[in-house]
Amino acid sequence: MNRFSIWRLLPFAVLIIFTAPLLIVLSTLFGSYSENWFHLYEFVLADYIISSLILVIGVSILVLFLGTVTAWTVTTYNFKGKKVFEWALILPLAIPPYILAYTFTGLFDPFGDANNFIRSVFNLKDSTIIFPNVRNIYGAIVVFAFTLYPYVYLVSRSAFINQSKSMQEAARLLGLNQLEVFYKLALPLIRPAAIGGMMLVIMETLSDFGAVDHFAIQTFTTGIFRTWYGLYDLQTAMQLASLLLLTVGIFYFIERSSRGDGIYTSNNSTFSPNEEVNLTGLKALTAFLVCFIPIFIGFLLPIVELSLWAYEVNLGFFNNKFLENSINTLSLSFLTGLICAALALLINFSIRYKPSILVGRFSALLSIGYAVPGLILAVGMVQLLVYLDNLAFSGFDIVLTGSLLGLVLAYVIKTYALANSSIESGYERISHSLDDSSKLLGSTSWNMLGNIHIPLLKTSILTSVLLVMSDVVKELPATLILRPFNFETLAVSTYIYASEERMIQAAAPAIAIVLIGLIPIVLLSKMIRSSRPIENRE
């Protein structure tokens, strides 16, 4: 038995590395509390909490609605455009919320392009403002929901596909109409998947800085930065960050423990896919709009506005520096994707191979990095690297600090949750009886992993690499602080221009981020097109 103890130890070893920078942040909770806490408590803390709460609730409701309804529409019905929508619905993933926020203000501010356009078309007076102000919490809810709903869409769609036809037939026989089948049967059944996707959305929303800062909304994250930059009080800022971390942690564990209720692997031999209902006329139009509107708001609109901006400057941005930044961005994100996928695979395997409640709980902790604001993670990381430098390389120059290693490690910690969620749900679909048979037939752990699981998980592994890549391409705050000398990514150059509100110069790198983010997403959508339940079973 000792031979296999590596599978017991692995999650713990990774956990130590992953949590060290977070523990550095959390350890501030046990430090001293400055008098700034009285000030925060009396004047602003309530604002931070309330607006974060409204944001999270609003975004959750909207993504749940958008994600599940679109997924249901494309899996249940057949209508014109459905084949395109199936994959196009995830395109908004390529748009980081901060870029959608920039383009929203560019369009909908009183003298933004959208208002100007309508005014010039209908020859209206300058004082006529058509679109509502977007620089508020409702604008932010829309921005987050329309860029992040694909997380819910992706998992809901594959869950709907895997629902057996016989179940729905039974429901129809018992007198439910199509709509009732959706919300009384199909929706409750995909609850674990949809909630899993929603948790990613919530974590991303809570840790965002760029979009809420641009809209000047006082959330927890902006409060953290305000305390750090304005009150010069990093200790209090890290304590605030710790509270945010703990809050998210609570959500996270509630979600994890509610998952245990049912096992959703289907090894039913009577499984057969649903037949699609053909739609025509008004119903087809409705289905079309249901799918088109999210893509329009979350993808087409920002692309149009970015293109308008890019058109205003000459094409001088396609220079060496731009190329170098693109290569930096691509190679970093690919490397991170590989590391995350490999780790997630090994860890999920170890949990499966040597099930233990303790290991399971601990490995759930690994995903918490996703919820940490990048800059706070970076601060913890710098302190960790400096400590390691002093420990291992004392007498030498600093080695780890300001190296790509630190940056990649931060990315891995931040995006591991994405890789894990994909591989974990892949594992949930592999029947445990397969493992038992292979054990009975005497295969070793590596054997089982290499010959049985990896071939079955091919899609999940690719998905996890791609999800991680599309997220790393957008990452900004940790990159800013951890990157080596003279090292820029596309997100960094976008930020540099956008922070000066030079949007037309920010447009080029922003478009490049979207384009690079599209590569994984196009591959992902290819897989979506080919992911039919029949193939899943082979």
Partner 1 sequence: MKKIQLILLLSFFGHVIMSNEVNVYTSRHYDSDDLLYKEFTQETGIKVNIISGKGSALLQRLKSEGSNSPADIFFTVDAGNLWKVQKEGLFQSIQSDLVLSSVPENLRGPNDEWTAIAKRARVIFYNPENVSEEMIKDIDYEDLSNPEWRNKIVVRSSSNMYNQSLVASLISNLGEEQTESWANKLVSNFARKPQGNDRSQIIAVANGEADLAIANSYYIGIMLSGSAGEEQLVAAKKVKMAFPNQKNRGTHINISGAGILKSAPNQKNANRFLEFLISKKVQKTMVDKSYEYPILESIRPSDEIASFGTDFKEDQISVKSFGELNPSAVRLMDRSGWK
Residues 11-70 that bind partner 1 (CB under 8 A): 36, 39, 43-44
Phi, psi (degrees; rounded to nearest 5) at 277 = -90, 130
Tell me how far apart the alpha carbons of residues 367 and 417 are, in angstroms, rounded to a whole number: 4
Q: How many helices (H) and strands (E) does the chain have?
A: 27, 2
Regarding 114 and contact with partner 1 (CB under 8 A), the answer is no
Q: How far is the CB of 386 from partner 1 (least distance, A)?
A: 5
Burial status of residue 538 (CB atoms within 10 A of its CB: 0-12, 13-18, 19 or more): exposed
Q: Which stretch binds partner 1 (CB under 8 A): 5-13, 183-191, 395-403, 516-524?
A: 395-403
Question: Helix (H, G, I), strand (E, B), or coil: what is residue 77?
Answer: strand
Q: How far is the CB of 212 from partner 1 (least distance, A)?
A: 11
Q: How far is the CB of 512 from partner 1 (least distance, A)?
A: 17
Among 163, 222, 239, 525, binds partner 1 (CB under 8 A): 222
Tell me how far apart the alpha carbons of residues 382 and 396 are, in angstroms, rounded to a whole number: 17
Regarding 136 and contact with partner 1 (CB under 8 A), the answer is yes
Q: Judge contact between 159 and 189, C-beta under 8 A.
A: yes
- 294 dihedral zone (left: phi>0; alpha: psi -120 to 50; beta): alpha
Q: Which stretch binds partner 1 (CB under 8 A): 77-85, 246-254, 483-491, 523-531?
A: 483-491
Q: How far is the CB of 97 from partner 1 (least distance, A)?
A: 17
Tell me how far apart the alpha carbons of residues 137 and 218 are, in angstroms, rounded to a whole number: 9
Q: Judge contact between 359 and 8, C-beta under 8 A.
A: yes
Regarding 374 and contact with partner 1 (CB under 8 A), the answer is no
Among 89, 200, 375, 510, binds partner 1 (CB under 8 A): 375
Tell me how far apart the alpha carbons of residues 5 and 448 are, in angstroms, rounded to a whole number: 16
Tell me how far apart the alpha carbons of residues 80 and 86 are, in angstroms, rounded to a whole number: 12
Q: How far is the CB of 135 from partner 1 (least distance, A)?
A: 4
Among 275, 276, 436, 500, binds partner 1 (CB under 8 A): 500
Q: Which stretch binds partner 1 (CB under 8 A): 175-183, 208-216, 248-256, 419-427?
A: 208-216
Among candidate residues 36, 84, 82, 14, the one with its CA nearest the CA of residue 300:
84
Regarding 78 and contact with partner 1 (CB under 8 A), the answer is no
Regarding 167 and contact with partner 1 (CB under 8 A), the answer is no
Regarding 275 and contact with partner 1 (CB under 8 A), the answer is no
Distances (CA, A) of 426 to 63, 155, 186, 194, 457: 23, 11, 20, 15, 6
Regarding 274 and contact with partner 1 (CB under 8 A), the answer is no
Q: How far is the CB of 213 from partner 1 (least distance, A)?
A: 8
Continuous segment of H or E residues that includes residue 277:
strand 277-278
Among 184, 312, 318, 361, binds partner 1 (CB under 8 A): 312
Regarding 398 and contact with partner 1 (CB under 8 A), the answer is yes
Among 21, 92, 369, 402, binds partner 1 (CB under 8 A): 402
Among candidate residues 159, 182, 155, the one with its CA nearest the CA of residue 63:
155
Site for partner 1 (CB under 8 A): how many residues? 64
Among candidate residues 346, 360, 517, the one with its CA nearest the CA of residue 416:
346
Continuous segment of H or E residues that includes residue 278:
strand 277-278
Among 140, 379, 412, 510, binds partner 1 (CB under 8 A): 379
Regarding 207 and contact with partner 1 (CB under 8 A), the answer is no
Among 190, 297, 382, 472, binds partner 1 (CB under 8 A): 382
Q: Which stretch binds partner 1 (CB under 8 A): 176-184, 401-409, 514-522, 528-536?
A: 401-409
Please, which residues bridge with residue 278 across strands? Answer: 78
Regarding 180 and contact with partner 1 (CB under 8 A), the answer is no
Regarding 320 and contact with partner 1 (CB under 8 A), the answer is no
Among 327, 358, 392, 534, binds partner 1 (CB under 8 A): 327
Structure tokens belonging to residue 185: 């049967």
Regarding 436 and contact with partner 1 (CB under 8 A), the answer is no
Please, which residues bridge with residue 78 across strands? Answer: 278
Find the DSSP H helices in 123-190.
137-161, 165-173, 178-180, 187-189
Regarding 338 and contact with partner 1 (CB under 8 A), the answer is no
Q: Judge contact between 484 and 402, C-beta under 8 A.
A: yes
Regarding 383 and contact with partner 1 (CB under 8 A), the answer is yes
Regarding 485 and contact with partner 1 (CB under 8 A), the answer is yes
Residues at the site binding partner 1, with contacts judged by CB under 8 A: 36, 39, 43-44, 105, 109-111, 126-127, 135-136, 213, 215-216, 218, 222, 225-226, 228-234, 309, 312-313, 324, 327, 331, 375, 378-379, 382-383, 386, 389-390, 397-405, 480-481, 483-487, 496, 499-505
